[in-house]
Structure 1
Amino acid sequence: MPLDGLFVHALAHEFNQKLAGGRITKVHQPYPNEIILVVRNNSQNYPVLLSAHPAYARAQVTQIPYQNPKTPTNFAMFLRRNLEGARLEKIEQVDNDRILHFAVNTHDELGDEQTLLLTLEMMGRHSNLFLVREKDQRILELIKHVPADQNRVRSLMPSATYVLPPAQNKENPFTSDLGSLAKILLDDERANWAKAIQQQFEGFSSQSAQALVRAIDGASDAIDATKNWLAHFDQPAPTLYRSDKNKLSYAAFDWGQEANEKTAFETLGELLDAYFAGQAEADRVNQQAASLVRLVKNELKKNLGKQKKLEQTLTDSENADSFKVKGDLLITYPHLVKKGMTEVEIENYYDENKRLKIALDPRFDGLQNANRYFHKYRKLRLAKDYVLEQLAATQEEIDYFNQIQTQLAVASPKDVADIKVELIDQGYLREKARIKTKGKQTKKPKYVMGKPDQFVASDGTLIEVGKNNLQNDQLSLKKSNRHKIWLHVQKLPGSHVLIDSENPSSETIEEAAKLAAYFSKARDSANVPVDYLPAGKLRKPNGAKPGFVIFEGQQTIYVTPDAHLVQKLKKV
């Protein structure tokens, strides 16, 4: 189901159970449209994600790690001043709509008690997050400022009065007596029930309306069946569905949807983490790494074009002897060529006296045309060695940027900074100039590289996965790792994987190989070959780019990447 009003009802119920009465201890804004509130309640910290993302708007308790920017945004600083240390009283849903009010008890600048509403509207591209003063409904700040010429229905700027989005004038199914439902079932054909339910009741998506139809179809009392069905949203049993085409969908409880695989979760937050992990993370990476993606794409295009030209030159150089033959024939029979001729046919004594047609430059005589062919011959012969050297260097560049492209495709937001530093060190990207302070010597801040991702095998063995070349070098070439087992997908760009064991079980090797295949260009393939051997057998050639190693004496295992296994083994 999409995140409709019914699912938001279940979220509000879960939030009130976990968060109501807790203190907001920290506020972070790791991404442009998303806020993380750390709420401490019952001696436990809950990271609450409030997202106004146009495609992934949602509210949830999340366990997906995030990395804060070095400099907090103005919106994050404003929320910190007003919310940190305040008590979260309750969470309310507006009717059965996709709007949540997080009511926070705090004090104003004069010390008087006040209630602020952190209001999240989850409305697709119109999603927004507001901080509103309850007593006068004044908008203190919001995550997206919308000028009046872009929204004439209501003002979405600081100091304006907060007004709810236009009402849909539908019934709230949780407060209605459901009398109109009986009328729908009597007046409409079964094929029209779902659409009629959506039109009559607030908060129903097409999937949830169809699920309700399945629940009441054939029931002796449709009203009671509907009430029982709605009661599940107050006692959710979060369920993730995976289709035979590996497409994911979710519901607040198992409502009988057909699926190839069903996974149950304890909380709605865990369910949303599992559903949005890949999609939302990829979008965050695209936001942070847009310039890097463009750079890699341009470098690949440039080097592929260069490779094509070099290969054509190499093909021509392979035919260099044909130019020598034409020059020899022209210098043997110069009298057959007169200025103004564009071609001549001469008996070829190199090929059993067959006749050879030779193109001519009409500006020159026979000897001059012969010299032109000899010049081409010498040039191509000399170019061959240079072209082979350039082809090797160009192929190295193509392999390198294919590797970076693969890393960006599987990167999490925290990995992007490492990739950027690497590209700066390799000279492909310029570092932003630091502003010099008058009379002070500015020092370049020391960069702290991110750590490889960690996974735990079924038998408890630690498995580490490098998500970029800097991490790959750290895993593969560190002396203390020499006797541990190293893995990499065969002949394709991918992550370096290290098993923290000198003699791992066959099951652990298979699980690590599946991680290596998943974090590679072969992620969507089946029966992927993965090489493995002790890390001490790896060698890095002098001058090789980051992440490049050579080895021999490896063994190979064939596996199929498994996204579900990756989530299962991930160390939080």
Structure 2
Amino acid sequence: MSFDGTMVRAVVHELKEKLTGGRISKIYQPTNYELLLTIRAKGQNQKLLLSAHPANARLQLTKWNPEHPKEPPMFCMYLRKHLEGGIIREIRQIEMERITLFQIQTRNELGDDVTRQLIVETMGRHSNIILIDTESQKILDSIHRIPYAISQVRQVLPGLNYQFPPSQEKRSPLDVTEEQFIAGFDYNQGKLDRQLMNRYTGIGPVIAREIIARAGVGDRAKLWAAFAPFQQQLQENQYQPTLVDTGEKLVFAITTLTSVKGEVSSFDFVSQLLDKIYLGKAERERNRQFTKELTKRLQNEIEKNKKKVLVLQEELEEGKTADRFQQYGELLTAYSYQIPAGSTETTVINYYDAEGTELTIPLDPKKSVLENAQSYFLRYKKAKAARKWNKEQITIALEENQYLETLLVQLGQASLAELEQIQDELVEEGLLKPMAKKGPKRKQTLPLPSSYTATDGTTILVGKNNKQNDYLTHRMAHSQDMWLHTKEIPGSHVVIRQYNGSEETLREAATLAAYFSKARLSSQVPVDYTYIKHVKKPSGAKPGFVIYTHQQTLYVTPSEEAIEHLEQRTTKVK
């Protein structure tokens, strides 16, 4: 866990400098886990985020501007009653633990000065935010109430005395001497980073691995030589907030990281680092959850359409026998003179049969023979109309599923910006309700496709969603550009600008079309290609749907290596 005791120490140092003496003007609770306090300090407003999220627990200054619930949660209302207008007199970390205490001077219901403590425990799934009466040390309330049924070791409930979490019996890294530090290691057990974490409060895996990596393989003196500068950083509150993007995960700490390889970013303040990590993470999580829910909704629509098609096809099969109703009507008309009134059935010679076989026709005895004939004619007319309607509905359902399948492919490959474009499209198509948003309206940008450069320098454009596909094919492309799409498979529109006849460029463009399609993991994927002048969008067609002629087909097998080779030359479309 990167948000260890050293990170808390760095954050607390920053908060002391910027918030001590500040007045709490507003308190919000945007989620079940998080509080956002607006504090007026040193002539400016600061936003303090306190999070008890089991995976993202932290405290920091932030630029986050979330939507707030219309009805504040009870804990939020309780904090407003006790803390709004209060002055922050002290901010301190409890030893090197992930526990931070805010001492707040405020007034009670009678107007008397009182002191409250707001304690933030950023301890993974045990994280909590607790309000305490300083004089009695009793709990007033907490963002998570912990009864005996949940924890037999430590309860957190209003009226109980506050107790710090159980001590881990570790020593502080701030005052350990060289002799004590070196003597504590057991070199026969190995895993020196684990030993470092087990011995010293506040040192998490990232810092422990970094110290051992700086020491390298050597004698005990090198371990102390690696640890001592870090200890001095903590003692003097001299921090170097650092983020490393390894390509697979984000690693961060309050010091430079030599043990992790990747793209390095440095920050002036710890809170800037934390905003970079967690606000992006929250946005990615929101979009991941939205994509998951949307995918499920689209899959449900696809299944409904499949069932609908099956039912309609069964009705079509049954409708094939509707011609016999017309025969019944005509035979009854021809033989009406010889059929007795009130009959329940009649047997006549079927002159539609070349062999002249007999045919038995059911009758409604309450109707005359001619009325029975008219009834059969009406049933034939209805069956014929139903057959036409069924065929139309089957076509509509199949086209709808083709469209939904395309959206599923796009969702699985969408970036955050592309996901917003898909969301807009779904709202426009009535598949999704508009999401009410506070604040300024998101600026609409052109749905520009991605651009790749072929080996011979030719530009290849790829639409990653239907908005981009439509814009690329019908607005950007010229009549002599080459257009590609997977044959009868949902996927991207691909355009080769000013195609010069190169087979290598055509194959590279086809590989892009296959890769950004439902057949990404398949081999020998058929890709159609034709000039853009032969590609048309039918009137009223759904986004991304086109018809085309004069096409030819080639077969390609998409691969990560081929796409990575092209992505190295990717440019931004203007």
Matching residue of 1:280 = 282
Matching residue of 1:84 = 84
Q: Which residue, out of 381, 393, 396, partners 1:386?
A: 393
Query: Is 1:227 matched up with 2:216?
Result: no
Amino acid at match of 2:77: M
Q: How high is the TM-score relative to the length of structure 1?
A: 0.61
In structure 2, the CA distance between the partners of 1:384 and 1:258, relative to structure 1 (3 Å rule), is: same
Q: Is the 8 A contact 2:418 2:465 kept in 1?
A: no
Cα distance, 1:189 vs structure 2: 4.6
Q: How high is the TM-score relative to the length of structure 2?
A: 0.61
Distance in 2 (alpha carbons) for counterparts of 1:156 and 1:236: 34
- CA deviations over 1:97-147 (Å, ceiling 9, x no partner): 111111112233344333211111111111110011122211111101122
Note the residue ranges of structure 2 that are not aligned, 5 or more in a row.
323-351, 358-381, 451-462, 472-491, 493-512, 518-536, 547-562
Amino acid at match of 1:206: P
Q: Within 5 A, what are the aligned runs for 1:19-38?
A: 19-38=19-38
Matching residue of 1:339 = none
Cα distance, 1:50 vs structure 2: 0.2
- CA deviations over 1:49-99 (Å, ceiling 9, x no partner): 000011110011111221111121111111112112211122111111111
Distance in 2 (alpha carbons) for counterparts of 1:249 and 1:177: 29
Note the residue ranges of structure 1 that are not aligned, 5 or more in a row.
325-329, 336-374, 432-446, 454-463, 465-474, 477-484, 499-516, 518-524, 530-538, 552-557, 567-572
Distance in 2 (alpha carbons) for counterparts of 1:251 and 1:204: 11
Matching residue of 1:256 = 258
In structure 2, the CA distance between the partners of 1:389 and 1:32, relative to structure 1 (3 Å rule), is: same
In structure 2, the CA distance between the partners of 1:392 and 1:540, relative to structure 1 (3 Å rule), is: closer
Distance in 2 (alpha carbons) for counterparts of 1:526 and 1:90: 61
Matching residue of 2:440 = 451
Q: Is the 8 A contact 1:132 1:140 kept in 2?
A: yes
Amino acid at match of 2:258: G
Q: Is the 8 A contact 2:309 2:397 kept in 1?
A: no
In structure 2, the CA distance between the partners of 1:93 and 1:400, relative to structure 1 (3 Å rule), is: same
Distance in 2 (alpha carbons) for counterparts of 1:73 and 1:314: 50
Q: Is the 8 A contact 2:410 2:464 kept in 1?
A: no
SS at 1:50 equivalent: strand
Cα distance, 1:167 vs structure 2: 0.7
Cα distance, 1:222 vs structure 2: 4.8
SS at 1:388 equivalent: helix
In structure 2, the CA distance between the partners of 1:316 and 1:136, relative to structure 1 (3 Å rule), is: closer
In structure 2, the CA distance between the partners of 1:228 and 1:408, relative to structure 1 (3 Å rule), is: closer
Q: Within 5 A, what are the aligned runs for 1:321-360?
A: none
Matching residue of 2:50 = 50
Q: Is the 8 A contact 1:24 1:37 kept in 2?
A: yes
Distance in 1 (alpha carbons) for counterparts of 2:58 and 2:83: 20
SS at 1:31 equivalent: coil
SS at 1:114 equivalent: strand
Cα distance, 1:332 vs structure 2: 6.5
Distance in 2 (alpha carbons) for counterparts of 1:90 and 1:549: 60
Higher radius of gyration, 1 or 2: 2
Query: Is 1:180 matched up with 2:180?
Result: yes
In structure 2, the CA distance between the partners of 1:108 and 1:262, relative to structure 1 (3 Å rule), is: same
- CA deviations over 1:443-486 (Å, ceiling 9, x no partner): xxxx7765344xxxxxxxxxx3xxxxxxxxxx48xxxxxxxx56
Distance in 2 (alpha carbons) for counterparts of 1:55 and 1:47: 21
Q: Is the 8 A contact 1:96 1:172 kept in 2?
A: yes
Cα distance, 1:404 vs structure 2: 9.1
Matching residue of 1:16 = 16
Distance in 1 (alpha carbons) for counterparts of 2:470 and 2:140: 49
Amino acid at match of 1:202: T
SS at 1:79 equivalent: helix
Amino acid at match of 1:305: E
RMSD, aligned α-carbons: 5.2
In structure 2, the CA distance between the partners of 1:154 and 1:449, relative to structure 1 (3 Å rule), is: closer
Distance in 1 (alpha carbons) for counterparts of 2:388 and 2:470: 45
Amino acid at match of 1:195: R
Matching residue of 2:213 = 214
Matching residue of 1:509 = none
Q: Is the 8 A contact 2:27 2:80 kept in 1?
A: yes
Distance in 1 (alpha carbons) for counterparts of 2:203 and 2:285: 27
Distance in 1 (alpha carbons) for counterparts of 2:415 and 2:139: 38
Matching residue of 2:67 = 67
Cα distance, 1:213 vs structure 2: 1.9
Matching residue of 2:154 = 154
Q: Is the 8 A contact 2:48 2:59 kept in 1?
A: yes
Aligned length: 431
